[in-house]
Structure 1
Amino acid sequence: MTIVESYVEFGTREARGVSPAYERLSLAVARDAELLALVDTLPPGKRQPNLLFGVVRLLGGPVHDPAAFHDFTLANWPAIEAELRARAVQTNEPGRCAVLLPVLATLPQPLALIEVGASAGLCLYPDRYAYRYGGHRLGPGDPVLDCALTGTAPPERRPEVVWRAGLDLNPLDVTDPADVAWLDALIWPEHEHRRDRLRAAAAVAAADPPLLARGDLVDDLPALAARAPAGATLVVFHTSVLYQVPAPRRAAFAEVVRGLPGHWIANEAPDVLPHDALPEPPGDAHHNVLALDGTPLAWTRGHGQEMTWFA
C-alpha cells in the first residue's frame, strides 16, 4: 500500500463516522505533496496516520484544520520527525476488553493473562471494569465499557484473573505523566469519553500494577508464559498489534503461541492475520476479526465499541 493509499484508507475506513477531524485530515494529507514528501523520508513502520497525528497532538499542534496542520508540520518537522522515529502507536484502549470478555468468560477459570503489545497494560484488567451491552449491565466499577453486541447473548460474568502480565518492546508506565500524555495524544480528538476512560483505567492499573516485561513477541514470550502460575488457564491475547510486525515474524509468533499451553485470542485485521471463509463484515468500516485458537468468532471495531458474532 502506498503512503497515499494508507492515508485514504485510514480516512475512509477507520476514521469515517468515528472521527470527522481525522477523516478530513487524512484525506487532506493524501493530497498534500509537501507533507507526503516528508512522510516518505521515514521508515515504512513510522508512516502511519495515527502515529503522525498523535505526535503532532503531543507537541501541541492542530489537527482540526488541515491547513493549520500543514503549516505546523512543515515548521516543526525536525521535532516531529524525532518523535516519530522514537515512538510507536501504542493505543492502550481499555474499551477493547468489551470484545474480549465474551470469550474470556467462557474459558476455564481462573485465568493467567498475557497481552502481547501491552503498552501500559490497561487491557489486562477485564475483571475490574464494568460493561454495558445495550441494556445489559455487568459488574460495578469505573470505567464502564459500552459495546453494541449482536449475534450472541452478553456474557453473564466477568473472568477471574489471578495473574496478569504484558509484553512490549517499550512498556509504558501509567504512573509516569509523560507516558500518560502519549496515551492521551493517541486518542482521537473528539473522543472525550475515551479520555475519561483512560484516566479511570489508569487509576485501576496504578492501584495494582501488572507485570510488564520489555521484550519481543517471538523471542521472549515463552519465558514470560513460563512464569504464569500453575492451576490457572494461560491466555495470550493481542489487539491491533500484528500490523506493526513484519509478516515473517507474524508467522513465527503464531507458531510460538500455538505451542504454548492454554489459549490464544487474536483480535486483528483480516489482511494482517488471515482466516479462511470469513463472512462479509457488517459494513464498509474497518473491522478486526476476533479469533480463539485460530478459529474466527466475530467482527469487532477497533476501540471495542461494536461486536458482531458470527461463529
Structure 2
Amino acid sequence: MIDGSKGSEPGERGMAGIESGVSTAENYRRFGVAVAEKSPQYGALAEAVASDAEILGLLETLPSEKRQPNLLFAAARYLLGRPADPETLRELVRERTAELISVLLARRTQTNEAGRCATLLPALARLPEPLALLEVGASAGLNLLPDLYSYDFAGHHVTGTDPEAPTLRCRPIGPVPLPGRVPNVAWRAGLDTSPLDATEDEHANWLECLLWPGETERRDRLRAALRVAARHRPVVHRGDLLDDLGRIAASAPSGATLVVYHSAVLAYVPESVRREFATAVRELGAVWLSNETAGVIGPAEVSAGPENSFVLARDGHETLATTDSHGAWIRWRS
C-alpha cells in the first residue's frame, strides 16, 4: 500500500471510508451504505460505530488515515480471531485499547485481491510483448502474477503458465477484447511502503483479516494465490511511490514494454501526490494502467460506473472499462 501519511485524503468515496471534510461518524455511515450488499455484517457494524461516542472518541485520537473502517475492522478481527460485532468491538475498545491502537498504527489496508488480475488481463494483453510489470502498492505481490493464473470469462478460457494456480472467474460485459493466451512477462517488480511476504503466516493472516465476513470465495482465492506467490516469490521493493518509482523502473529490460499499474491504491493518498505520481509515470515513458474508484483518476462524472465499481484507465485519460472492485465482472467501453 502507498503511504497515506503525507496529508489528508480529499475526494475519496464509498468503500475507502476516508473522505476528507466529513466527520468520522459520517464516513462510517457512508461506508456502511456502500458495503451493505456485499457484507451486511460490516454494513451494520459501520452504522453502529457511527453512533458510538466511545469508539468514535478513540478514532479521533488517531491520524486521519488510521480511522478507516476497513482498517479498524481488520485490526479487530486480527486481535479477536473472528470478525467483530458491535458488542465485541466495544469491549475491545474498552478493555484492550493499547493493543488495538498498536495494530492500527502498525498496519495498513493492504487488500491484495488477485481477482483484479482478471480485469487487468484484457488491457495487458493488448500491449506489445514482452511486458515488464511494475505494480505500485503491491502488498504481497499477488497481482504481479497475471500470466500465472488461469481465467474463465463466462466460458472463454485462458490458461496460465502455472498449472497449480487458481482459475480466476470474471463476467465480461460488452466488447471486452478477451485474449487467447496470457501475455509474455519478461520482468516483474512491486513497490510498497510495507511489503508482505506470502510465505509468512502472520502476513497471510493479516491479508485474510482484511476480507469481509462471509466472503468464502475471496478467502479461498486469497489462500490459493498466496501459495502461487510463495512458489514464485515476486519481488516487492520497500519504498515510496514518488521517491523510488524511477529507481525500480530502471531495472526493467530495455526491450520490454514497461507497464506501471495499481488497483485501489491512489484513493489513499492526497490529490497532490496523485498529480506528482502521474507526472513521474509519464516521464518514464511507461504504459500506465489505473484501476481505481471513479474520480481518483480523471473526472468522476465522466468515468463513473455502478456503485462500488472501479474505472480501468490507460495513461490517466483513456477510460477502457468499468470493473467490479474484486474482479467479478468487467464492462468494456465500446
Confirm or deny a common fold (TM above 0.5).
yes
Q: CA deviation at 1:62?
A: 4.9
* Corresponding position of 1:79: 99
Matched, 1:12 2:33: yes
Q: CA deviation at 1:224?
A: 0.5
Q: CA deviation at 1:276?
A: 7.0
* Corresponding position of 1:3: 24
**Do the aligned partners of residues 276 and 22 (structure 1) sit closer, same or farther apart at CA in structure 2, a change above 3 Å counting?**
closer
Q: CA deviation at 1:279?
A: 5.1
Residues 158, 181 of structure 2: 8 Å contact kept? yes
Of the structure 1 ranges 261-270 and 101-110, higher mean CA displacement relative to structure 2 is found in 261-270
User: Over residues 4-44 of structure 1, what are the superposed CA-to-partner deviations in whole Å (9 max), with x where a residue is unaligned?
Assistant: 2221222212x122111111111111111111111111100
In 2, Cα distance between equivalents of 1:272 and 1:292: 13
Q: Which of 43, 53, 56 is equivalent to 2:73?
A: 53
Q: CA deviation at 1:64?
A: 5.2
Matched, 1:293 2:315: yes
Q: Secondary structure at the match of 2:151?
A: strand
* Corresponding position of 2:159: 139
Q: How does 1:27-106 map to 2 (within 5 A)?
A: 27-60=47-80, 62-63=82-83, 65-106=85-126
The gaps in structure 1 that reach 5 residues or longer are none
Percent identity between the aligned chains? 48
Q: How does 1:292-311 map to 2 (within 5 A)?
A: 292-294=314-316, 295-311=318-334
Matched, 1:232 2:256: yes
User: Over residues 248-305 of structure 1, what are the superposed CA-to-partner deviations in whole Å (9 max), with x where a residue is unaligned?
Assistant: 11111111011112300001112322337625523xx212211011211111222112
In 2, Cα distance between equivalents of 1:185 and 1:178: 10
The gaps in structure 2 that reach 5 residues or longer are 1-21
Q: Secondary structure at the match of 1:281?
A: coil
**Do the aligned partners of residues 123 and 189 (structure 1) sit closer, same or farther apart at CA in structure 2, a change above 3 Å counting?**
same
Amino acid at match of 2:103: E
* Corresponding position of 1:213: 237
Q: Secondary structure at the match of 1:109?
A: coil
Q: CA deviation at 1:63?
A: 3.1
* Corresponding position of 1:248: 272
Residues 295, 304 of structure 2: 8 Å contact kept? no
Matched, 1:161 2:182: no
In 1, Cα distance between equivalents of 2:174 and 2:26: 33
Amino acid at match of 2:263: T
RMSD value, Cα: 1.6
Q: Which of 175, 179, 199 is equivalent to 1:152?
A: 175
Aligned length in residues? 308
What TM-score, normalized to structure 2?
Answer: 0.88
Q: CA deviation at 1:118?
A: 0.4
Matched, 1:127 2:147: yes
Residues 189, 236 of structure 2: 8 Å contact kept? yes
Q: Secondary structure at the match of 2:157?
A: strand
Amino acid at match of 1:56: A
Amino acid at match of 2:166: P
**Do the aligned partners of residues 256 and 82 (structure 1) sit closer, same or farther apart at CA in structure 2, a change above 3 Å counting?**
same
Q: Secondary structure at the match of 2:218?
A: helix
Residues 73, 84 of structure 2: 8 Å contact kept? no
User: Over residues 85-123 of structure 1, what are the superposed CA-to-partner deviations in whole Å (9 max), with x where a residue is unaligned?
Assistant: 111110011111011011001111111100000001010
What TM-score, normalized to structure 1?
Answer: 0.94
Residues 61, 69 of structure 1: 8 Å contact kept? no
* Corresponding position of 1:181: 205
Q: Secondary structure at the match of 1:264?
A: strand
Q: Secondary structure at the match of 2:217?
A: helix
Of the structure 1 ranges 238-247 and 273-282, higher mean CA displacement relative to structure 2 is found in 273-282
Q: Secondary structure at the match of 1:278?
A: helix
Q: CA deviation at 1:65?
A: 2.8
* Corresponding position of 1:26: 46
Q: Which of 275, 278, 289 is equivalent to 1:265?
A: 289
Q: Secondary structure at the match of 2:212?
A: coil
In 2, Cα distance between equivalents of 1:3 and 1:256: 33
Of the structure 1 ranges 185-194 and 266-275, higher mean CA displacement relative to structure 2 is found in 266-275
In 2, Cα distance between equivalents of 1:162 and 1:297: 24
Amino acid at match of 1:179: H
